[in-house]
Chain A
């Protein structure tokens, strides 16, 4: 059960991209990229969990990671949007139920649980076996309708649950209609099989966590042979679905082709953008995903180069702010480039920029390349500027230990009144 401590709130938790973060700079799987592209500052966490193409649990994991990494902040929208407050990741799952609503809390839990499973295969949504016949489907559909149709809570104070119920019910209808249609069902069966699912006859027991209406479960347990073939019900329903699907695939293909053209021309950023769109329209296409990973790496390099060039020319113009921003962006793309981190930290320190940021970068450089005395020296200098003398002394001494000829470090150390290590060695008897 994914529910939190049940604290009462009607607030929606809405992930925002932290300003200044360039999504293209992160190293993401296509599914994660797709998820990131859906973070628009208005879509709540709960809805992101059901965007499709990426499972709800995976969504939770990614979002929590991004919150921890500072890529994403979560804003709680209260009744008044002005009263937004930033939460840290430890509250990620609290506050979904609300005892003040006219829905019993256990029903709220059931609704939330159901909502969390909306991307499951259709038969699991209905809580029936994969080879359930039409009669069982209908029974399950009716039972779920009685339980979760929005009219069940007509005129009651349902808070955010009203919208949830509409979405849930829409999905139940979709599941029932597609599974009732032999053509659609065959296609669903094919895609399940392709995804590595067992054949339906092998799967007779439902996964334990799949809550299902009691009658439907009982019915499923004593399945009768499927009823004789029946004229397909509402054929246009499926034709609409498949038309939309076809359309999306065609679009995906167009984007992919554009992406490949850019790829051939060496325009990696453009290529990555196109392929990402292709994946957004056809999230199940393995070829697109594979290409995306390759293209994205090249795209990041290309972008980083471009940013460094930008930084250089800004430095020439002595526009340190712009240069720093370009460095910052480049670091997002190449977080493990110690030299880059060093340059950025040095610039920030020397131009009176954000010392905290300078410290982060310098520390990262030290971490990546601890044998490089210069990184320690810079970190020491940054500490010194920040008035953290003990830390400064430690780093400067480390710098001198690695490179005794580092006069800059020696001077700095002298400034803060520490005895330079080298001096002691030189002067010591031993």
Chain B
């Protein structure tokens, strides 16, 4: 049987791991790096570049280089996240036929699962070269707060990469798995604080006796390390404009340089108290070329991002309250994601919990390692480890008056099945439309629409008389299916929710075929 890998498909960087002789190890890419930038570019000569190669040419080819596409995957084109990306990204985002955001590079328009698939294929290639054998199966991680659509799109991406996705698991859960690996069985309550490039998640888990139970999970879609970068970029832009009177916001190449420099400055300031940003020839006007040179202190950085760190602590509090515990009950805090290297983040977490966070896991690699451990656990004969995960978002249906009736509350252990009886709102109504939603708002419209279907053939009756039982199933893969049944006639309608932005099997096959073509071109 071929090996199965764990992939952390990150917003900024991706990482792949495998369990080798019972020990999980991270697989370095050909350049020797343990993480690979989640970037994809179409070069002028039509060549496709992935990872470090894509990142290296990003400055000169900003319009045709995709980064942070994870922020777009599984979302609707009119969602606030996509709108924000439209303003900020140097690459072109267009609306696809399923109201999904797509990315235009040169002549070709790519779907988000396709971009993610290209990155996953690269991770698969890294693993295959290292292992010297083909790899066909993987466990892939996603942020805990990803909804059904985002998870299904990630699964599609796996298919496009020629991987069978055994399971999609949550990033903080994977981190906890890695933390718990090889520890002697003892009961512990663990909190994972996962501040990655584009996402922020908190999960609280109980572990012991070979079982890992997720008590609660909470996340912030709008928060991640890139927000820190953006604050730094803005600071640099403002400083430059004040000094030189030139606004660089409409210069894609300048923006890309600024973005890189801001990220580097931010990282430097985790080590040192002061750093200098030097970007010669960033612009030019009638008076000749202009150079950007700004000195940035750690103090200044902490001042401009303090409110973002505060916001993460609000999510921590929400998660504790969902789990029904207080910060004293937490035995161990695990920091995950590159942004947790920032001293300010570590201090705030330590202050809040009254203890230093756990050292000893590498925040960039721990998620991929956890994914590999889960893959191994699923397939091993003597399962020594069972993961009890939860659904991160409440699920329900839209009801009369635009309300949202939750059938499965967030943080319910999977698999789960819940049913509820609903009725009609008009006399002699013979059909009802079931709109399946995911989210936390009581107002239907403010939640994500996962899908809809119609139950017809209800016997004619006065309003309020028919009894329609709607039941929700979420399996251990987190895949939602919904059925509605008229209790009087026994008539039933059901769907496996197929969310916006997911691709049909034909579409996926077409993309795979396309990519095979490029695969051949690479080797020429």
Shortest CB distance A160–B (Å): 16
B475 touches A166 (CB 8 A): yes
A207 to B208, CA, bound (A): 28
Known contacts being A152-B386, A170-B416, A244-B420, is A233 close to B209, with CB within 8 Å?
Answer: no
B383 touches A152 (CB 8 A): yes
Q: Nearest chain-A residue to B394 (Cβ)? A: A236
A246 interface contact, C-beta 8 A: no
What are the residues of chain A within 8 A of B88 when measuring CB–CB? none
B208 touches A169 (CB 8 A): no
A343 interface contact, C-beta 8 A: no
B260 interface contact, C-beta 8 A: no
A154 to B167, CA, bound (A): 10
Known contacts being A150-B476, A151-B386, A166-B475, is A237 close to B325, with CB within 8 Å?
Answer: no
What are the residues of chain B within 8 A of A233 when measuring CB–CB? 215, 323-325
Contact of B379 among A41, A154, A230 (CB under 8 A): A154
What are the residues of chain A within 8 A of B323 when measuring CB–CB? 233-234
Known contacts being A42-B490, A233-B215, is A166 close to B379, with CB within 8 Å?
Answer: no
Q: Nearest chain-B residue to A41 (Cβ)? A: B490
A231 touches B326 (CB 8 A): yes
A234 touches B209 (CB 8 A): no
Q: Nearest chain-B residue to A232 (Cβ)? A: B324
A234 touches B415 (CB 8 A): no
Q: Which of B18-26, B43-51, B269-277, B405-413 forms part of the interface with chain A? A: B405-413
What are the residues of chain B within 8 A of A139 when measuring CB–CB? 209
A146 touches B209 (CB 8 A): yes
CB interface residues, B 178-214, toward A, < 8 Å: 187, 206, 208-211, 213
A335 to B387, CA, bound (A): 57
B210 touches A150 (CB 8 A): no
Contact of B216 among A169, A230, A234, A244 (CB under 8 A): A234
Q: Nearest chain-B residue to A180 (Cβ)? A: B324
A23 interface contact, C-beta 8 A: no
CB interface residues, A 126-143, toward B, < 8 Å: 138-139, 142-143
A170 touches B409 (CB 8 A): no
A233 to B420, CA, bound (A): 24
Contact of B211 among A146, A177, A232, A244 (CB under 8 A): A146
B459 interface contact, C-beta 8 A: no
Known contacts being A142-B208, A151-B383, A154-B379, is A166 close to B417, with CB within 8 Å?
Answer: yes
A173 interface contact, C-beta 8 A: yes
What are the residues of chain B within 8 A of A152 when measuring CB–CB? 383, 386
Shortest CB distance B320–A (Å): 9
Known contacts being A142-B209, A166-B475, A233-B324, is A155 close to B386, with CB within 8 Å?
Answer: no
CB interface residues, B 148-190, toward A, < 8 Å: 166, 187
Q: CB-CB contacts of B394-432 with A at 8 A, as 1s and 0s?
A: 000000000000100101110111001100000000000
A139 to B211, CA, bound (A): 10
Shortest CB distance B219–A (Å): 17
A171 to B450, CA, bound (A): 27
Contact of B322 among A138, A234, A244 (CB under 8 A): A234
A230 to B209, CA, bound (A): 21
A143 touches B209 (CB 8 A): yes
A52 to B49, CA, bound (A): 60
B109 interface contact, C-beta 8 A: no
A235 touches B209 (CB 8 A): no
What are the residues of chain B within 8 A of A149 when measuring CB–CB? 386, 388
B254 interface contact, C-beta 8 A: no
What are the residues of chain B within 8 A of A166 when measuring CB–CB? 415, 417, 475
What are the residues of chain A within 8 A of B508 when measuring CB–CB? none
A240 interface contact, C-beta 8 A: yes
A143 to B210, CA, bound (A): 9
What are the residues of chain A within 8 A of B329 when measuring CB–CB? 231
B379 touches A146 (CB 8 A): no
A195 to B123, CA, bound (A): 60
A27 to B215, CA, bound (A): 49
Q: Nearest chain-A residue to B216 (Cβ)? A: A234
A57 interface contact, C-beta 8 A: no
> At the interface, is chain A mostly helix, strand, loop or mixed?
helix
What are the residues of chain A within 8 A of B387 when measuring CB–CB? 151
B455 interface contact, C-beta 8 A: no
Q: CB-CB contacts of B303-325 with A at 8 A, as 1s and 0s?
A: 00000000000000000001111
What are the residues of chain B within 8 A of A142 when measuring CB–CB? 208-211, 213
A236 touches B325 (CB 8 A): no
Shortest CB distance A144–B (Å): 10
A146 to B212, CA, bound (A): 10
Shortest CB distance A170–B (Å): 6
B378 interface contact, C-beta 8 A: yes
A150 to B383, CA, bound (A): 12
Shortest CB distance A262–B (Å): 14
A251 interface contact, C-beta 8 A: yes
What are the residues of chain B within 8 A of A234 when measuring CB–CB? 215-216, 322-324, 411
B413 touches A154 (CB 8 A): no
Contact of A145 among B166, B215, B216, B386 (CB under 8 A): B386
A173 touches B490 (CB 8 A): no
A40 interface contact, C-beta 8 A: yes
A240 to B386, CA, bound (A): 26
A169 touches B415 (CB 8 A): yes
What are the residues of chain A within 8 A of B379 when measuring CB–CB? 154-155
Shortest CB distance A284–B (Å): 18
Residue among B208, B412, B475 facing the most chain A CB atoms (10 A cut-off): B412
A177 to B412, CA, bound (A): 10
B416 touches A173 (CB 8 A): yes
What are the residues of chain B within 8 A of A251 when measuring CB–CB? 421
Known contacts being A149-B388, A231-B324, is A170 close to B215, with CB within 8 Å?
Answer: no
B413 touches A173 (CB 8 A): yes
Q: Nearest chain-A residue to B137 (Cβ)? A: A155
Shortest CB distance B162–A (Å): 19
Shortest CB distance B389–A (Å): 10
Shortest CB distance A155–B (Å): 7
A381 to B469, CA, bound (A): 53
CB interface residues, A 207-248, toward B, < 8 Å: 230-237, 240, 244, 247-248
A40 touches B213 (CB 8 A): no
Shortest CB distance A133–B (Å): 14
What are the residues of chain A within 8 A of B412 when measuring CB–CB? 237
A90 to B383, CA, bound (A): 40
What are the residues of chain B within 8 A of A154 when measuring CB–CB? 166, 378-379
What are the residues of chain A within 8 A of B490 when measuring CB–CB? 40-42
A151 touches B378 (CB 8 A): yes
What are the residues of chain A within 8 A of B415 when measuring CB–CB? 150, 166, 169-170
Q: CB-CB contacts of A164-187 with B at 8 A, as 1s and 0s?
A: 001101100100010000000000
What are the residues of chain B within 8 A of A231 when measuring CB–CB? 324-326, 329
What are the residues of chain A within 8 A of B409 when measuring CB–CB? 236-237, 240
Contact of B378 among A40, A145, A155, A169 (CB under 8 A): A155
Q: CB-CB contacts of A320-339 with B at 8 A, as 1s and 0s?
A: 00000000000000000000
Q: Nearest chain-B residue to A233 (Cβ)? A: B324
Contact of A170 among B210, B388, B417 (CB under 8 A): B417
Q: Nearest chain-A residue to B464 (Cβ)? A: A254
A234 to B326, CA, bound (A): 12
Q: Nearest chain-B residue to A135 (Cβ)? A: B187
What are the residues of chain B within 8 A of A248 when measuring CB–CB? 421
Shortest CB distance B384–A (Å): 9
Residue among B326, B379, B409, B413 facing the most chain A CB atoms (10 A cut-off): B413
Supply 15 A–B pairs (Cβ within 8 Å), ascending by A: A42-B490, A139-B209, A142-B213, A151-B378, A151-B387, A154-B166, A155-B378, A166-B417, A170-B416, A173-B416, A231-B325, A232-B324, A233-B323, A236-B322, A236-B409
Q: Which residues of B contact A (CB under 8 A)?
A: 166, 187, 206, 208-211, 213, 215-216, 322-326, 329, 378-379, 383, 386-388, 406, 409, 411-413, 415-417, 420-421, 475-476, 490
Contacts A234-B323, A235-B324 aside, 13 further interface pairs with beta carbons under 8 A come to A142-B209, A143-B209, A146-B210, A151-B386, A151-B387, A152-B386, A167-B417, A233-B325, A234-B215, A236-B322, A237-B409, A240-B406, A247-B420
In the A-B complex, the 3 residue pairs with the closest CB atoms: A233-B324, A142-B211, A154-B378
